[in-house]
Amino acid sequence: MQDETIPTIRFPDGTEAPALGQGTWNMGENAAEAKREVESLRAGLDLGTTLIDTAEMYAEGGAEQIVGEAIRGRRDVFLVSKVYPWNASRKGTVEACENSLLRMGTDRIDLYLLHWRGNHPLAETVEAFEALKAAGKIGAWGVSNFDTDDMEELLAVPSGANVAANQVLYNLARRGIEFDLLPWCQQRNIPVMAYSPIEQGRILHNPELIRIAKANQATPAQVALAFLLERDGVIVIPKTANAARAAENRDAVSLDITDEDWAALDAAFPPPTRKKPLEML
Ligand SMILES: NC(=O)c1ccc[n+]([C@@H]2O[C@H](COP(=O)([O-])OP(=O)(O)OC[C@H]3O[C@@H](n4cnc5c(N)ncnc54)[C@H](OP(=O)(O)O)[C@@H]3O)[C@@H](O)[C@H]2O)c1
pLDDT digits (tens, 9 = 90+) for 189-231: 999 999 999 999 999 999 999 999 999 999 999 999 999 999 9
Distance of CA 14 to the CA centre of its chain: 18
Looking at residue 105, what is its pLDDT?
98
Domain presence at residue 280: no
Domain presence at residue 4: no
pLDDT digits (tens, 9 = 90+) for 1-25: 445 799 999 999 999 999 999 999 9
pLDDT digits (tens, 9 = 90+) for 46-57: 999 999 999 999
Domain presence at residue 272: no
Q: What is the CATH number of the domain that holds 36?
A: 3.20.20.100
Domain presence at residue 97: yes
Task: Provide the percentage of residues in the chain whose pLDDT is more than 90.
Answer: 97
| CA count, 13 A, side-chain hemisphere, 171 | 24
Domain presence at residue 11: no
Looking at residue 4, what is its pLDDT?
79
Domain presence at residue 271: no
Task: Tell me if the pTM is above 0.75.
Answer: yes
- Tell the burial category of 204 from Cβ atoms under 10 Å away from its Cβ (0-12, 13-18, 19+): middle
Domain presence at residue 277: no
- CA–CA–CA angle 231, 49, 57 (5° rounding): 90
Q: For residue 82, which atom of ligand 1 is closest to its CA?
A: 1
Q: Which domain holds residue 169?
A: 16-203+232-242
- Mean pLDDT computed over every residue of the chain: 97
Domain presence at residue 259: no
Looking at residue 2, what is its pLDDT?
40
Distances (CA, A) of 42 to 21, 53, 240: 12, 14, 11
Q: 244 C-alpha to center of ligand 1: Å?
A: 15
Q: 25 C-alpha to center of ligand 1: Å?
A: 7
Q: 13 C-alpha to center of ligand 1: Å?
A: 28
Residues with CB under 6 A from ligand 1: 23-25, 53, 115, 144-145, 167, 195-201, 204, 221, 237-242, 245, 248-249, 281
Total count of domains within the chain: 1
CA-proximal residue: ligand 1, atom 14 (nearest) = 196
